[in-house]
Structure 1
Amino acid sequence: MTMTILQTTYRQGDPAAVPVVLVHAFPVDHRIWDVCATRLRECSEGDGDPAFGIYALEMPGAGECPVPTVEQTGPVAEDGAYPEAMTRMAESYAEAFRATGFHKAVWVGISMGGYLILELHRLHPEMFAGIILCDTKAEGDSPATRANRVAIAAECEEHDTVDPVMHFAEPHDGDSAWKRSAEAVSLFTGWIRSQHPRGVAWRERMAAARPDETDQLAKITVPAGIISGTLDPSSAPDRMRPIAERMTGTDCAFTVIEDAGHFTCVEKPDEVARAILELWRRA
């Protein structure tokens, strides 16, 4: 059964031009792309590029997107993770993308969004004119990380709260200057507090059992890019370079963003927008 995927249009664009599709991170929604998408549009207009479409597709359970039903989610593993949910979500993304009338896009995924577009590439490589992976990884979760995701999901559900993921909004030692600012704390607090606890839990259970996508990297033949913040605690440049090195079927551009952590598109939207635009031109 197809899941509901909501679309945000930042620019409708020329039907003849390859669009850019943006996929957001956990535990937030498409709004993390708002400023970056605006900068992308402004940069392309200023440089005289064709007016390509810019879209964001919302994950199930994020923002206003409904939490998938039991039938849509599929089997449940013994530990409570959802082993088929990522694949089902990717197929739902494919259907939502086809509804736009386009056949190919430059797909950009940050963090959990990167997991999603790699699974989409596994299922539908024909939908890719280009791919950018931001602050993410290709391998599946370790047993400890999987168990932690399921535990967070259970707490969100049992107590009807998003408190277990509020640490994403809190400033930490080593964060970027912007991420430690009052503006950042307020923005991320508002975004996360607006999420439904069951939606947060669903995404955790989905990600916990997602397939390992490392084998997809060598199969990517379209123009590719990696974006990594130097202060990212989980996807810093030294951890993402092996991803680029495994993309042996393409020429992968590697963009390092200084003074940025795990949410580069929010922390440094201008630099990320420029990297996306340069990849779009290659595609």
Structure 2
Amino acid sequence: MNILFVADPLEQFQIYKDTTFAMMREAARRGHRLSACEPQQMRWQRGGRVSARVRDIELTGDATDWFVGRQVRNAALADFDAVLMRKDPPFDSEYFYATHLLEQAEREGAQVFNRPRALRDHPEKLAIMEFPQFIGPTLVTREAEDIRRFHADHGDVILKPLDGMGGTGIFRVGPDGMNLGSIIETLNGGGRQSVMVQKFLPEIAEGDKRVLIIGGKPVPYCLARIPQGNEVRGNLAVGGLGVARPLSARDWEIGEALGPILHERGLLLAGVDVIGDCITEINVTSPTCFQEIQQQMGCDVAALFIDALEAAVKR
């Protein structure tokens, strides 16, 4: 197959942990051809097909200069066997527009993973509300008084913006309500921005688990991101410690319940975040943790993903 990766700049990859790199490495090992572009390099001109300025690359095996192929060419996305949308968040207006270009490319015959419409239809924090049986007490609102009532009911809560990533903008407010008013003002901007409020889950001390779902099936191991020091957030981006472990019975229950639903909607890969027994997010833009799980547990997650990709591509 000829695979196009729509991703962040290749020069910025930290290949020792990057999941997109792990996908590339496994695809190349199987003899698939690799190309890459950034979302801003896609274009659509009247009367033409969606195309992009792409680079055809080869992996070198070197830890520093890890790829060769600097030559840029113009290519229609529909001419590739598979297009993998791996641009990291934030899901801003430009990401939104990119999904529309990718959806047009689908109409022209491109096979895009994850499907562009599915990316738009699954905001990563809000998507959990569809599965109330698997989440803790949660509120999404723009109303400050709603937030205050929720805090009064539950005492210890987490507040977060719907468009945050990597743990940014997450606050914990205890029973004393210290700084609640200031935090509400910061997050919802006088009612202009929606806020998610959740009952604090003390199980975060044992880790925020990333349960990967590939082709509708859960990977047998997860990565628990464990907060360090006085930090309440387990995100690796803010210093959380990543510890791989087998799925618990509850993790399996969640993965097996959500997997077929997400797969049917066009999500070949999803990362479900679980604290204790509760889902907190469903990541669909560019789920990570492949390499950490492989390094610690020996489970080749990238191979599972390329297996699923090869099965999904219609030739």
Q: TM-score range by the shorter chain?
A: 0.3 to 0.5
| More helix as a share of residues | 1
For normalisation by structure 2, the TM-score amounts to 0.35
| More strand as a share of residues | 2
Larger radius of gyration: 2
For normalisation by structure 1, the TM-score amounts to 0.38
Q: Which has the higher contact order (CA 8 A, sep 6+)?
A: 1
